[in-house]
Amino acid sequence: MAKIIDQLKTLPQRLLTIMIFLLVWEIAVKAGLLYPSPVPPASSVLGALKDLAFESIFWEHTFVSMQRILSGYALAIIIAVPLGFAVGWSTTLERYLDPLLQTFRQIPLMALFPVFILFFGTGELPCILIIMLAAMWCILLSTISSVQNIDPFLVKTARSVGTSQWDMLRKVVLPSAVPSIFTGMRYAYTDILLVLIAVEMLGVNGGWGIIVSSHEHHGQSHTVMYAILISMAIVGVIVNYIFVALERRLCRWKETIEIT
């Protein structure tokens, strides 16, 4: 609670730079500094943003994109977390799997999209798989490094009281690794957004990518496109805050196994 009050107190400071940015934008456009580029003034974009908030079609598209993001996250976690634990915990497994993983990671994901369509058709599946892959690397790498960098003092203590391998993973490694797994998920969001929009622009059913590309080419609708971009950024900020809050909460779980 005290934290929330603290945050409210600093809110004017936090918003100040954003206000200045909007003001500079407005003035620059009105003064013709950006001419001949078709950037609309901040005020009309904000107006469009307000209209957008009351348009059900926008929320439907947002819902479609969010569903894809969540499915991608879920699949990525199901695969990357156990894999990350295994690779991070077993040096033998790491030796065998690391070269393969490092190679796969270098493949540009969007190049895989046509291949996925060939294999899985044009439905939701290829789209979700691409998002899953985009999310997976960040989560996998942060899981591996958090397991590898687990406090040796903690591990030694747990081993000395006779913890089995399974209990070690469940009660020691998991609580200490989970906060950084969530950090990995938070970082993954940017990667996800990148492929999500690209994939949706290539024409799947609905989603943010569709509304961005459908407004891009209508001259006077540029304003709407900027409004959509801003709304996506706002959603991103909210997602980020949710993850930060979760990380904080899970850090407390981690503290329960601190050794003195």
Partner 1 sequence: MDRILETESVTKTYRLGKIDVPVLHGIDLSVKQGEFAAIMGPSGSGKSTLLNIIGCLDRPTSGRVLIDCIDTSTLSDNELAVIRGRKIGFVFQTFNLVARLSAQRNVEMPMIYQDVPRNARVKRARELLTLFGLSDRMDHKPPEMSGGQRQRVALARALANDPALILADEPTGNLDSKTGKEILRILEDLNERGRTILIVTHDHEIAGKCDRIIRLKDGVIET
What type of residue sits at position 195? V
CB of 255 to partner 1, least distance (A): 7
The site that binds partner 1 (CB under 8 A) totals a number of residues, namely: 18
Provide CB contacts within 8 A for 107, sequence distance 6+.
none
Instruction: Considering only the stretches 48-56, 104-112, 155-163, 231-239, report the one whose residues sit in contact with partner 1 under the rule CB under 8 A.
Output: 155-163
CB of 161 to partner 1, least distance (A): 4
Query: 188 to each of 166, 169, 183, 191, how far by Cα in Å?
Result: 28, 24, 9, 5
CB of 85 to partner 1, least distance (A): 15
| DSSP code, position 234 | H
What type of residue sits at position 113? F
CB of 114 to partner 1, least distance (A): 42
Residue 51 or residue 255: which is nearer to partner 1 going by CB?
255
Q: Which of 64, 56, 71 is nearest to 200 (CA)?
A: 64
Among 67, 145, 148, 157, binds partner 1 (CB under 8 A): 157
Residue 162 phi/psi, 5-degree rounding, is 85, 30
CB of 159 to partner 1, least distance (A): 5
Answer for the pair 40, 100: CB distance below 8 angstroms, yes or no. no
Among 7, 43, 122, 165, binds partner 1 (CB under 8 A): 165
Instruction: Considering only the stretches 17-25, 103-111, 160-168, 188-196, report the one whose residues sit in contact with partner 1 under the rule CB under 8 A.
Output: 160-168
Q: Does 259 bind partner 1 (CB under 8 A)?
A: yes
Q: Is the peptide bond before 12 cis (omega within 30 degrees of 0)?
A: no
Q: How far apart are CA 251 and CA 28, in angstroms?
A: 45
Among 156, 170, 218, 248, binds partner 1 (CB under 8 A): 156
130: exposed, middle or buried (Cβ count in 10 Å: 0-12, 13-18, 19+): buried
What type of residue sits at position 180? S
Residue 201 or residue 251: which is nearer to partner 1 going by CB?
251
What type of residue sits at position 39? V
CA triplet 94, 98, 99: central angle to 5 degrees? Answer: 140
Q: Does 260 bind partner 1 (CB under 8 A)?
A: yes
Q: Does 163 bind partner 1 (CB under 8 A)?
A: yes
Residue 103 or residue 256: which is nearer to partner 1 going by CB?
256
Instruction: Considering only the stretches 29-37, 79-87, 164-172, 218-226, report the one whose residues sit in contact with partner 1 under the rule CB under 8 A.
Output: 164-172
Q: Does 257 bind partner 1 (CB under 8 A)?
A: yes
- How many other CB atoms are there within 10 angstroms of residue 154's CB atom? 17
Among 51, 151, 167, 216, binds partner 1 (CB under 8 A): 167
Residue 175 or residue 184: which is nearer to partner 1 going by CB?
175
Interface residues with partner 1 (CB under 8 A)?
153, 156-157, 159-167, 255-260
